[in-house]
Amino acid sequence: MEPQMTESNNGGAGESAGGFLSSCRELLRPAVDRLGCAVARFSGKLARIARDDPRRVAHSLKVGLALTLVSVFYYVTPLFNGWGDSTIWAVITVVFVMEFTVGAMLSKGLNRVLATLAAGSLAVGAHLVAELGGENGEPILLAVFVFLVASAATFSRFVPEVKARYDYGVIIFILTFAMVAVSSYRVEDLIEFAHERVTTIAVGVATCLFTTVFVCPVWAGEDLHNLTAGNLDKLAEFLEEGKAFLHVYKSVLNSKVREDSLSTFARWEPIHGKFGFRHPWNQYQELGTLCRQCASSMEALASCVIILKRSQVTAKIPTKLYPAANPDLCLKIGAACAAMSSHSARALRGLSLTVRTMTAPSPTNSDMSAATKAASDFRAAFSEDVALSQAMHVAVVASLLSDIVVQIERITESTNDLGSVWLSCGFLRI
């Protein structure tokens, strides 16, 4: 009897353990499924980011390469003995300076090197002056110097020109001056301390420069150039009523921050490809401003188009709604609107090609002339019929379209000015 009871008890315990494990699996299965779905979504997002711009993958690998190269100075004993623990500043510099474009890297790298050199020299000078105050006066003088220099440098960050181009350098200047000046009270060989910091940072910047320029370089100037041409294409797409044309102008409206950033970084870049020194980057910003003004009018026009679609009002004005309006005049205005859109779109496509290829713009733009004539015909026809002018949706849509033609004329003039600057600087392709 006893063996049977023992066997029965063991069987019950086994069934109980199996039931417990089964319950655990049932409880954990939804969590595992959710985790799997989250991992799949995240992997898909990473894949989309890589497909959208493969240069991002290359940049990630370049950062890893730069850190690997600069780590050699830490691993090789003779190099490490030359700098000691200061070698870690080369690694830190790579982490902070390595940027996506060459211009951004040069901006931060040169700012960091020059700011470190200037702040280190100034801090050594402050230390020498503070030593004249004796043992009791030295810390007081150092504290005064740190207060004055940090306050003045921080205030300079409010200057727009400094904020735009040298803000990072000012921050590094404040950090370096404070570190060297404060450390000078305890460090015996201050000159050696400052020298190690400057040289290790220079090594880090040089490593970043090598990997950024010589390994799959990404140029801010080229991105700005393509962004400008792309914005012109997007404006043309709106007028052509292409796919999702009611929303294509939004990316143009939101391009200012990226455009300003690329323009700032492009000024730091050396000669590359078809871009040289004295390249008219500010002209790209002026052209971008005109494109955004045009996109703003397109946004207003898109709102009117949405309202018209909802009210099922077609481009040909229903004469039964406006019996006093001349049907022939309605058709004439509809034709003028169609002509303004088509000719303006072709003119923008031509301007985009001119910018993208850096070729001489055509002295006589037939599409722009045709669009201007259509706008003049519309204004003349619209003023002929009082009843038609009271059709508010017609007045707003057609007037906005006419204004867009005027703005495209300004874009054409700005593109011609850009071509003239290209020619004067020797960048223009004939």
Q: Which residues are within 8 A (CB) of 418 and not within 5 positions of it... i.e. 6 or more apart?
A: 280, 283, 284, 287, 355
The percentage of the chain sitting over the pLDDT mark of 90, rounded to a whole number, equals 37
Question: Can you tell me the distance from the alpha carbon of 66 to that of 299, in angstroms, rounded to the nearest whole number?
Answer: 45
**pLDDT for 228:** 94
Q: Which sign, positive or negative, has the C-alpha torsion 335, 340, 343, 349?
A: negative
Cβ atoms of 394 and 313 closer than 8 Å: no
**pLDDT for 232:** 94
**pLDDT for 319:** 41
Q: Is residue 41 part of a domain?
A: no
pLDDT-wise least confident of 127-131, 316-320, 357-361, 371-375: 316-320
The percentage of the chain sitting over the pLDDT mark of 70, rounded to a whole number, equals 81
Q: Is residue 380 part of a domain?
A: yes
**pLDDT for 359:** 82
Question: Can you tell me the distance from the alpha carbon of 125 to that of 92, in angstroms, rounded to the nearest whole number?
Answer: 26
Q: Domain total for the chain? A: 2
The C-alpha torsion from 122 through 128 and 134 to 137, rounded to 10°, is -10
pLDDT-wise least confident of 249-253, 309-313, 364-368: 309-313
Q: How confident is the model at residue 303 (pLDDT cuts 50, 70, 90)?
A: confident
Q: Do 224 and 117 fall into the same domain?
A: no
- Among 183, 214, 245, residue at a domain's last position: 214
According to DSSP, residue 312 is labeled T
Phi, psi for residue 363 in degrees, rounded to 5: -65, -30
Read off the pLDDT of each residue in 72-89 and give the average, rounded to a whole number. 80
- Among 214, 244, 265, residue at a domain's last position: 214
CA count, 13 A, side-chain hemisphere, 11: 6
**pLDDT for 5:** 47
| Residue with more model confidence, 365 or 226 | 226
Q: Do 83 and 206 fall into the same domain?
A: yes
Q: What are the C-alpha distances in Å from 332 to residues 239, 316, 379?
A: 19, 9, 11
Q: Is residue 115 part of a domain?
A: yes
Q: Is residue 293 part of a domain?
A: yes
**pLDDT for 429:** 59
Q: Do 166 and 239 fall into the same domain?
A: no
Question: Can you tell me the distance from the alpha carbon of 14 to that of 287, in angstroms, rounded to the nearest whole number?
Answer: 79
pLDDT at position 419 over 90: no
Q: Is residue 140 part of a domain?
A: yes
Q: Is residue 120 part of a domain?
A: yes
Q: How confident is the model at residue 263 (pLDDT cuts 50, 70, 90)?
A: very high
Q: Do 193 and 282 fall into the same domain?
A: no
- Among 195, 214, 233, residue at a domain's last position: 214
What stretch of H or E contains 84?
none
* Residue 353 neighbours by CB distance under 10 Å: 14
Q: How confident is the model at residue 307 (pLDDT cuts 50, 70, 90)?
A: low
Phi, psi for residue 429 in degrees, rounded to 5: -95, 125
Read off the pLDDT of each residue in 248-271 and give the average, rounded to a whole number. 90
Q: How confident is the model at residue 235 (pLDDT cuts 50, 70, 90)?
A: very high
Mean of per-residue pLDDT scores for the chain: 82
Read off the pLDDT of each residue in 376-394 and give the average, rounded to a whole number. 63
| Local structure of 282: helix, strand or coil | helix
Read off the pLDDT of each residue in 375-393 and give the average, rounded to a whole number. 63
pLDDT-wise least confident of 77-81, 371-375, 387-391, 406-410: 387-391
Q: Do 207 and 285 fall into the same domain?
A: no
Q: Is residue 3 part of a domain?
A: no
101's tokens: 């474009």
**pLDDT for 196:** 83
* Residue 321 neighbours by CB distance under 10 Å: 9
Q: What is the pTM of this model?
A: 0.81
Read off the pLDDT of each residue in 66-90 and give the average, rounded to a whole number. 83
The per-residue pLDDT for range 122-155, each reduced to its tens digit, is 999 998 899 888 888 888 999 999 999 999 999 9
Length of the chain: 430
Q: How confident is the model at residue 330 (pLDDT cuts 50, 70, 90)?
A: low
**pLDDT for 35:** 83
Beta bridge partners of 391: none
* Residue 293 neighbours by CB distance under 10 Å: 17
The per-residue pLDDT for range 205-219, each reduced to its tens digit, is 999 999 999 999 999
Beta bridge partners of 275: 272
pLDDT at position 175 over 70: yes
Q: How confident is the model at residue 313 (pLDDT cuts 50, 70, 90)?
A: very low
Q: Do 333 and 386 fall into the same domain?
A: yes
Q: Do 327 and 405 fall into the same domain?
A: yes
Q: Do 174 and 150 fall into the same domain?
A: yes
Domain residues for the domain of 115 are 59-214
Read off the pLDDT of each residue in 35-61 and give the average, rounded to a whole number. 89
Residue whose C-alpha is closest to residue 276's, from 427, 88, 117: 427
Q: Do 189 and 224 fall into the same domain?
A: no
Q: Is residue 47 part of a domain?
A: no
Q: 410 exposed, middle or buried (CB, 10 Å; 0-12, 13-18, 19+)? A: middle
Q: Do 73 and 184 fall into the same domain?
A: yes
Residue whose C-alpha is closest to residue 270's, from 109, 97, 70: 109
**pLDDT for 185:** 79
Q: Do 195 and 226 fall into the same domain?
A: no
| Residue with more model confidence, 305 or 168 | 168
Q: Do 167 and 232 fall into the same domain?
A: no
The per-residue pLDDT for range 164-174, each reduced to its tens digit, is 889 999 999 99
Identity of residue 187: V
